[in-house]
Amino acid sequence: MLKITGYPDRYSAAPGETVAFKISLEEGAAFEARLVEVVHGDCNPEGPGLKVRHVPSNADGRHPGRPQRIDAGSHMVVDAMPALAAGAFTVFAMVWPTLPQRPDQTLLAQWDPAARRGLIVAVTDGGRLALTVGDGSGAVQTVTVDAPMLVRQWYAFAIAFDPATRRVRLDQRPLQPYAQVQHHGRFEGVLDLAPAPVGTPLLLAGCPEADGSVGGHFDGKIDGPMILAGVHAPERHDALLRPRPPAELAEAIIARWDFSREIGTTTAVDIGPSRRHGRLEHLPTRAMKGWNWTGEEHDWRRKPEHYGAIHFHHDDVYDAGWETSVSLTVPEGLKSGAYALHVRCGESDETATREDYLAFFVRPPRERGTARPKVAFLAPTASYIAYANHGEHITARGAELQMNRLLPFGHADLYLYEHPELGGSLYDCHADGSGVAYSSRLRPVLNFSARYHSWLGGHGSALYQYNADTHLFDWLDHQGVDYDVITDEDLHQEGYELIRDYRVILTGTHPEYHSTPMWDAMKAWIDRGGRLMYMGGNGWYWRIAFHDTLPGVIELRRAEDGIRTWIAEPGEYFQGFNGEYGGLWRRIGRAPNVICGVGFIAQGFDVSSFYRRAPDADNPRAAFIFEGVPDEIIGDFGLIGGGAAGIELDCITTALGSPPNMLRLASSDEHSPMMMLVNEEFGVVPPNLGGDVNARVKADMAFGETPSGGALFCTSSIAWCGSLSHNGYENNVSKITVNVLRRFLDPTPFAVG
């Protein structure tokens, strides 16, 4: 098990800037820290091995530490709220429960947990609406309706209570009745005690606990909650839903939250007269279909009144909120590159890992004017965040069948299993089965660390994402290439101006996730003569959104088509952060082929194969690429699955935007049956999906010039970089890569005619 873990407050920092590291210790009271440059994160003894270099810094030394925990679960907080129990009141709302079997799920609470006084409206007892009151003496009473709610069905609930008489009425009315199904729940009676009024904040979808945390989270959607002064019959709820409710009801409104307002923010707008706006914590999912959605409009911006629901989850997490354990000031003059704070609390053994590498990148100085390298590595941090704490191997059935091997669990995997509050990746589902649409870097990300072995990485090194990219860092270091590192977040925020002066940009092994500003900036750079070395596979695949005001979080809607571990509900394809249509870039007319010349064609996670030289390799335009490489077979070796062509593959497809001048230099061959055609490539399921029987399942090594004198080079395989270090870096994969980089650095324009 992990005995130390943590995270930085940023993934990108320039010299002179500060990175705050949040550390949690499971044992001991102190830890050692040192800044290191990460050269190679792969521990496989068949390769160069783990390589880190110590860089003296102000963070080096021994620091006090303690356990830190995550108070996960989304909810709403209203700070300035009068004590409801001081008089008669009625609560109306629409609810759509997704885990009604979970006990004690709070819908609304104004509760003092230490004194056990106030009131809680909840879903409990297998899905029944309930009211709990406490008088502050220790006495607590709960009443429930007589029928449970069904999962994923809309209900109108009403709770009317008069503390003076202690008379209460609960009503749970289904919007869709069914024959032979009793789920209209009711309760009416007099309580044995009256709640003591409390002036604490009001919470929705969570309840304050005595230790200061929030518990009792609700799983499901809530739409249109409102609180009125006085006792009102359930039927009056319908009148309040009209555009102009009766005056006597409007005047009774204490608060009425309209979740269709300001959807891109964390504010829950109160449209009542007192403007008691709520604050949303841990990013519950917005732009969700409400109880009144009809299907006539799928874009929430065009009919926001149909998107008045928020989906809360007890396992939502945005910011772990840990205290800073040590702050690092990036040394002035430190070269741009991949770094980590190496933290250690003792010797590791078979039972425990007592060290971690908390990764981040040093970007170039923000001020222009100093001479910079002409090469940049675009660190795919959006993809790192998308895959953050990817746990399908723990939660999903059939993972070992998909990988075609047994999946060993390391200490990080066990820790993730024991700590679901760390939050999942964009590939995981919440406990209620809904897809994780938001992923944040402000939490421990166990798979963004040197030495981590991924279950997705194929036979051999079993690396994916960050550590697979360190194969490229190591090769650049061995070749003595001076380069800058910029991250996806940098590119999203600063756009084309950030990359305009670089002659060459190298991608990581799997640059899958891109926002619109990132896409536009890269296209502008290519169109102005940039030379792109696409060093991976399945790039520019999913469209994401960054939040305008919250750092380090991205949104994904897994809309129509693509490899989807979960599927967005119809009507919920538009991103809540910015209103853009989500899903595949290909589905909105911007296939990856338009950016890098190739696009996704197949995936398989068992063994990798090799490339076979194609006729275009003899084209004089490609002579520089194959200088010193006469071989027909390329890359029949490597740390990722044993070959250079594996995991995920791309190919040339002119119908999707691959430029017609792209040369197919080589294509991969002899793939296993587990390397399968991706589903967006067919309408009717073909009988020959696997690479052993489908000729389309191949990676195309490709090259093409651009009209502005630039060029594109595509490896089209995630496994390519895992072959660079073979035979002491003396091999045809390495030779081809260095040939391309050398020519791409030459300022001589490529021929365009």
The predicted pLDDT at position 722 comes to 98
At residue 188, the pLDDT reads 98
Q: Is the dihedral of CA 403, 409, 410, 412 positive or negative?
A: positive
**Mean predicted confidence (pLDDT) in 234-261:** 93
Cβ partners under 8 Å of residue 342, min gap 6: 33, 34, 35, 36, 52, 355, 356, 357, 358
Q: Is-above-0.85 flag for pTM?
A: yes
Q: Residues 123-134: pLDDT tens digits?
A: 999 999 999 999
In one-letter notation, the amino acid at residue 167 is R
Q: At what angle do helices 732-745 and 466-479 cross, to 10 degrees?
A: 70
Supply 739's token pair.
């040939």
pLDDT at 73 over 90: yes
For residues 541-554, average pLDDT? 98
pLDDT of 398: 78
pLDDT tens-digit map of 443-488: 999 999 999 988 887 788 889 999 999 999 999 999 999 999 999 9
| Predicted pLDDT at 370 | 78
Digit-coded pLDDT (tens) for 267-284: 999 999 999 999 999 999
Torsion sign, CA atoms 668, 670, 675, 676? positive
* 203 Cβ contact list (under 8 Å, min separation 6): 75, 76, 77, 78, 106, 108, 109, 110, 111, 214
Per-residue tokens: 34: 């040192």
- The mean pLDDT of 10-24, rounded to a whole number, is 98
- In this prediction, residue 394 carries a pLDDT of 84
Q: Which residues contact 135 (CB under 8 A, 6 or more apart)?
A: 117, 193, 194, 195, 196
pLDDT above 80 (res 369): no
Contacts of 318 (CB under 8 A, 6+ apart): 281, 282, 283, 438, 440, 442, 550, 553
For 445: left if phi > 0, alpha if psi spans -120 to 50, otherwise beta; the answer is: beta
- pLDDT tens-digit readout, 318-362: 999 999 999 999 999 999 999 999 999 999 999 999 999 999 999
- Tell me the two tokens of residue 259: 């979740």
Domains and CATH numbers, the chain: 4-67+320-372 (2.60.40.1930), 75-312 (2.60.120.200), 376-745 (no CATH)
- Residue 437: which pLDDT band, with cuts at 50, 70 and 90? very high
pLDDT at 166: 97
Q: Is 449 helix (H, G, I), strand (E, B) or coil?
A: coil
Dist CA 451 CA 23 (whole Å): 18
Measured CA to CA, the distance from residue 32 to residue 593 in angstroms comes to 47
What is the rounded average pLDDT of the residues 591-597?
Answer: 98
| Complete DSSP assignment for 714-741 | E--BTTGGGGTTTTTT-SHHHHHHHHHH
pLDDT score for 274: 97
Strands of 586-708, DSSP E: 599-613, 633-634, 645-651, 663-669, 676-677, 700-705
3-state secondary structure 378-403: EECHHHHHHCCCCCHHHHCCCHHHHH
pLDDT at 244 over 90: no
Which is more confident, 393 or 139? 139
Cα 431 from chain centroid (whole Å):
16
Kindly report, residue by residue over 683-707, the tens digit of the pLDDT.
Answer: 999 999 999 999 999 999 999 999 9
Burial class (CB in 10 A: 0-12, 13-18, 19+), 121: buried
Sign of the alpha-carbon dihedral angle for 584, 585, 587, 588:
positive
On average, the pLDDT of the chain sits at: 96
The H or E element containing residue 141 is: strand 140-144
